[in-house]
């Protein structure tokens, strides 16, 4: 009886949280100067990720805003690949006080000659969001099927990637199993992709894409509900002594 009462007490008093979930994707057209597009959420967003891909190894992006609010460039961004078929990935986030409704995404450039394109993801959750993991280690002259393992540490996370590839046709790049390609952009002899993982769970995620051995550069990021922590799954210590 005592064990049952304690179990019921824990269920009633356990911390409440909701799992982060994909909301919507939006994108710009290809351009060489500043980029701007309207992102239209399906729900009430709590987090935003923007990937900007440059078809060169330059750092030509100055800043990004969502609904007029400045976004933060994530760790490892920009990730540049300067050899062979060069490309650069930028990743920006807005994780709190995200304005509701359709909003303008604006990206300001210092370079106005290189072809570029931007894509935006919004997520929903019960609270503000935070970065669970980010990886910007891929930058290669010749890499087949590039991928990294994103560490979710037993917490629910939404994973997305932005990448640049030396493959010279859109059919040369495809999502991994369990991923959706939201946008692929043909720069002529190189390509770019904006992909999301379809499942939000606590399991680690293999993030990447399929291609033949070629140039590759990528940033992968995982967002989580900031209210979800490891303690969400376990009761506080019951203290010394057995429970009968």
Q: What is the pLDDT of residues 66-94, one digit of tens each?
A: 999 999 999 999 999 998 899 999 999 99
What is the three-class DSSP state of 147?
A: strand
User: Does residue 85 lie within any of the structural domains?
Assistant: yes
The answer to whether position 5 is within a domain reads: no
pTM: 0.88
Listed residue (117, 160, 150, 167) closest to 20, CA to CA: 160
Give the pLDDT of residue 231: 56
Q: What pLDDT shows up at residue 171? A: 78
> Can you give the pLDDT at residue 26?
98
185-221 pLDDT, tens digit per residue, is 999 999 999 999 999 999 999 999 999 999 999 999 9
Residue at 34 is within a domain: yes
d(CA 65, CA 124): 19
pLDDT at position 239 over 70: no
**Non-local CB neighbours of 179 within 8 Å, separated by 6+ positions:** 195, 196, 197, 198, 209
In a domain, 165, yes or no: yes
- Whether 9 shows a pLDDT value over 50: the answer reads no
How many domains does one find in the chain? 1
Structural tokens at position 174? 């495809």
User: Does residue 76 fall inside a structural domain?
Assistant: yes
Contact 39, 182 (CB under 8 A): no
Whether 8 is covered by a domain: the verdict is no
CA 222/CA 3 separation, integer angstroms: 38
The pLDDT, as a whole number, for residue 51 is 98
Whether 103 is covered by a domain: the verdict is yes
Structural domain including 75 reads: 19-227
From CA 214, how far away is CA 144, in angstroms rounded? Answer: 6
Q: So what's the pLDDT on residue 3?
A: 47
11 belongs to a structural domain? no
Residue 242 pLDDT greater than 70, yes or no? no
Structure confidence by residue, pLDDT tens digits, 135-175 = 999 999 999 999 999 999 999 999 999 999 999 877 789 99
Report the C-alpha gap between 146 and 165 in whole angstroms.
10
Percent of the chain with pLDDT over 70: 87
């Amino acid at each position: 009886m005592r064990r049952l009462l304690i179990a019921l007490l824990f269920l009633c008093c356990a911390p409440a949280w909701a799992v982060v979930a994909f909301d919507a994707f939006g994108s710009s057209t290809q351009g060489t100067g500043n980029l701007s597009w309207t992102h239209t959420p399906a729900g009430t967003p709590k987090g935003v990720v923007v990937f900007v891909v440059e078809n060169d190894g330059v750092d030509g992006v100055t800043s990004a805003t969502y609904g007029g609010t400045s976004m933060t460039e994530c760790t490892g961004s920009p990730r540049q690949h300067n050899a062979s078929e060069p490309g650069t990935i930028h990743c920006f986030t807005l994780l709190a006080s995200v304005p509701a409704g359709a909003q303008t995404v604006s990206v300001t450039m210092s370079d106005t000659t290189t072809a570029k394109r931007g894509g935006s993801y919004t997520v929903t959750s019960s609270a503000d969001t935070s970065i669970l993991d980010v990886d910007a280690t891929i930058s290669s002259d010749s890499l087949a099927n590039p991928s990294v393992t994103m560490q979710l540490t037993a917490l629910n996370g939404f994973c997305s990637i932005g990448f640049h590839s030396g493959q010279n046709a859109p059919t040369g790049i495809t999502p991994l199993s369990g991923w959706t390609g939201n946008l692929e952009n043909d720069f002529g002899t190189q390509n770019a992709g904006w992909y999301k993982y379809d499942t939000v769970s606590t399991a680690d995620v293999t993030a990447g894409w399929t291609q033949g051995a070629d140039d590759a550069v990528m940033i992968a990021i995982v967002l989580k509900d900031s209210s979800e922590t490891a303690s969400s799954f376990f009761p506080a210590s019951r203290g010394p002594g057995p429970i009968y």
